[in-house]
Amino acid sequence: MKSVLKIVVLLTILCLMILEPSSPVVFKLTNVLCGSYNITWVRINHCRLKAINRHRTVFNFNATFLHPTKDITSHYRMFKRENGYRPWLVNTRIDGCRFLRKPYDALGIFLFNIYKNFTNVNHTCPLQGDIIVRDMYLTTDLMRLPLPTGDYLLAIDWLFYGKPQFATNVSFQFIEDIL
């Protein structure tokens, strides 16, 4: 009886060792570039990365919408860098105001989840005034990305009433668990 218990305990420990998550993957921001296409509507006050440690950089963003908008489109394009950026892996447009009323589209939800905890946008359209993203970082805790190791660019164009107003381009590095 005792030896059976011993075996069970040993097996349990063995299982825990096998199932225990291995060394963390690298998933961090490497560069950001923002630009306004229409400075009479969108003023970008701040768009910068700050290194916290070797594995983490945080993104701070502050823009002012000088007039209210009730029509926002987020145009997401993701590229993988391989001798320059290869053609997009993702190319999708999300109706931002509809999304703020009720999130839709799996990819849109995934992308919004990355920054929603860090932004002051917690209400529906119209949006006006200062739009803030504070100390945003990437974490693998929530999402196991089906991404191969590499450097990526997520280029987001923000359109009001169908016309591009500003861009936020975020580059990041993803290094898979090598097991």
Ligand X SMILES: *[C@@H]1O[C@H](CO)[C@@H](O)[C@H](O)[C@H]1NC(C)=O
Binding site for ligand X (CB under 6 A): 33-35, 38, 40-41, 45, 62, 67, 113, 117, 120, 122-123, 130, 132, 139, 142, 155, 163, 167, 169
Give Cβ neighbours of residue 132 (< 8 Å, ≥ 6 apart).
61, 62, 119, 120
Q: Which residue number is nearest to ligand X in terms of Cβ?
A: 35
Q: Toward ligand X, which CB reaches closer, 94 or 155?
A: 155
The rounded distance, in Å, linking the Cα atoms of 36 and 44 is 7
Q: Shortest approach of ligand X to residue 26 CB, angstroms?
A: 17
CA 179, CA 20: separation in Å to the nearest integer?
Answer: 12
CB of 51 to ligand X, least distance (A): 19
**Torsion, Cα of 42, 44, 45, 51 (10° steps):** 150
Closest CB 6 distance from ligand X, rounded Å: 39
Residue closer to ligand X, measured from CB, 8 or 52: 52
Nearer to ligand X, 3 or 40 (CB): 40
Query: Phi first, then psi: what are they for 96, rounded to 5°?
Result: -60, -40
